[in-house]
Amino acid sequence: MIAYTPAKKREKDSVLKSAIKKNKWIVTGVTLFASYFSDVESVHAILNGASARWLAQVGTMGPLPDCGEKIVDLTKYDQISTISLAVGFALFFAGTFIEKKTVKRILFALTILPLSAWLYVQFFIDYEKIRENLFAYDTVAENALANIAEAQDRYKSEKGAFIKNLHQISSYTAGAHGLDACIRITKINATFNHWSAEAKHVSSPNTITWDSDSGSSLKKG
């Protein structure tokens, strides 16, 4: 066992602080990357509904409908790919040009983390399945908007105007079709001769719009 005298310990601490200070931009980059990636994992956990389902089970919330696995916006994966690749190469080149062996080994070891994230995003995620699930969720949102369009037509024929209130929309669509429990109507605007609405499935990051003139915004195929 190696015993360090106070002088040697101070010298060791001084060398470590000096190395961190000289490479503070690298330390900052690694810290930011770790924070970003950790946040993405937290988002995955939250969007998978673990917290909500647990609360429902212990009775602090009402029963929740099964709305499927929640999906993260696909642009998030692009961001992870770009940032992880940039950080990985930055660490690798920094380790190449820095002469101190200890710092060099640390930098090369840290390179594994962002490159592993890049490999995971590129080769271990089934994007085709994600797109299929997204389209299925968005189609349900579109169907809800189609039901609203039918309700608006009925209301217009009866009252001579379109519905502007979300609560009225719910009551007028409460018949045979109704609104899916997993759909949230986020906005509705109406004038005398025109209306539009926005809806989204709780498991999808996308918002679908419906315009009384042009119909649904959902792109088919």
Whether 220 shows a pLDDT value over 70: the answer reads no
Q: Which residues contact 90 (CB under 8 A, 6 or more apart)?
A: 26, 29
> Which range among 34-48, 90-104, 151-165 shows the weakest confidence by mean pLDDT?
34-48
Tens of pLDDT, residue by residue over 147-159, are 999 989 988 998 8
Band (pLDDT 50/70/90 cuts) for residue 5 is low
Task: Look at residue 181 in the predicted model and tell me its pLDDT.
Answer: 87
d(CA 142, CA 95): 52
pLDDT of residue 136: 95
Q: For the chain, give the mean pLDDT.
A: 78
Confidence at residue 129, expressed as pLDDT on a 0 to 100 scale: 95
The pair phi, psi for residue 202, each rounded to 5°, is -65, -20
To the nearest 10°, report the CA torsion of 26, 27, 28, 34: 110
With H, G, I as helix, E, B as strand and everything else as coil, classify residue 190: strand
Mean pLDDT of 6-24: 58
Alpha carbon of 204 to those of 47, 54, 74, 167, 192: distances in Å? 10, 20, 11, 23, 32
Which amino acid type is present at position 55? L
Q: Angle at the Cα of 63 (from 61 to 66), degrees rounded to 5? A: 125
What pTM value is reported for the model? 0.66
